[in-house]
Amino acid sequence: MRRGSVSHQLSDLPNIEPDLFRQPVVANFKGIGASSHRPRFLLLYGSLRERSYSRLLTMEAARLLEAFGGEVRIFDPHGLPLPDSEPDTHPKVVELRDLANWSEGMVWCSPERHGAMTGIMKSQIDWIPLSQGAIRPTQGKTLAVMEVSGGSQSFNALNQMRVLGRWMRMLTIPNQSSVAKAYQEFDDAGRMKPSPYYERVVDVMEELFKFTLLTRDVSPFLTDRYSERRETALELSRRMSQEKL
């Protein structure tokens, strides 16, 4: 098929509104600036146990992200109510949502329980909405997923979190970490022992950091969609019509 003008190509697309259609080209990226502040990461873990291996693994990830040059916040899920059991003005909900808005990338780390992520992990994700007015707390932000298990290595929780990351419109990096028999991988001080598992965590955090640097400034362009531009245009048209009444 020969490449013609946009108007010619749209002549065969009668359902498209030409004024809202955009042809992505490399030149679109040239006018996008580069942030100079440290990349900002929110880390969530999925256990309330006193010796929580998902929390210990999250803390190792935080140290690595800070060493790479990032700014890190770890959300403590203690006291977070179940979704819909309290209003969204609850202090822990407000804290979580503020951190989600602040962040440019996230790490989700859950134990695997009954072949799935924990309810504590899911509750945190459920409290983060897809949108807050014009703000989308997760859209276009990077995500790394990790899990710990008490037995052999598994990927069930990781796979579930990847599905959720896609649903939350996040850019989930290809690499991931699954730590088997986690009780053997941390010393008495709570630090992760040297192992291939630890090296994988280093790899995952390095990859997350790079993806965040690469995408944080261009994510508004990458996630700009025809359907949403059309919806916005329709809303503006309706509002203008109402003002004329």
Contacts of 191 by beta carbon, 8 Å cutoff, 6+ apart: 56, 60
pLDDT > 70: percent of the chain: 91
User: What pLDDT score does 152 carry?
Assistant: 82
Question: What whole-number distance in Å separates Cα of residue 96 and Cα of residue 45?
Answer: 12
Classified as helix, coil or strand, 27 is: helix
Spacing of C-alpha 217 from chain mean position:
15
Question: What whole-number distance in Å separates Cα of residue 131 and Cα of residue 203?
Answer: 31
Contacts of 83 by beta carbon, 8 Å cutoff, 6+ apart: 123, 126, 127
Q: Alpha-carbon torsion 64, 52, 106, 81, what sign?
A: negative
* pLDDT tens digits for range 59-70: 999 999 999 999
Mean per-residue pLDDT for 165-175?
95
Question: How confident is residue 1, by pLDDT bands cut at 50, 70 and 90?
Answer: very low
**CB atoms inside a 10 Å sphere around CB 245:** 4
User: What pLDDT score does 67 carry?
Assistant: 98
By the 8 A CB rule, do 227 and 93 touch?
no
* pLDDT tens digits for range 23-49: 888 888 887 888 999 999 999 999 999
Question: How confident is residue 169, by pLDDT bands cut at 50, 70 and 90?
Answer: very high
* pLDDT tens digits for range 139-164: 999 999 999 998 888 899 999 999 99
The token duo for 131 is 């949108």
Is the model more confident about 6 or about 121?
A: 121
* pLDDT tens digits for range 52-92: 999 999 999 999 999 999 999 999 999 999 999 999 999 99
Question: What whole-number distance in Å separates Cα of residue 149 and Cα of residue 178?
Answer: 8
Residue 208 pLDDT greater than 80, yes or no: yes
pTM above threshold 0.95: no
Q: What is the DSSP letter of 223?
A: T
* pLDDT tens digits for range 128-137: 988 877 678 8
Length of the chain, please? 245
User: What pLDDT score does 118 carry?
Assistant: 96
User: What's the mean per-residue pLDDT of the chain?
Assistant: 90
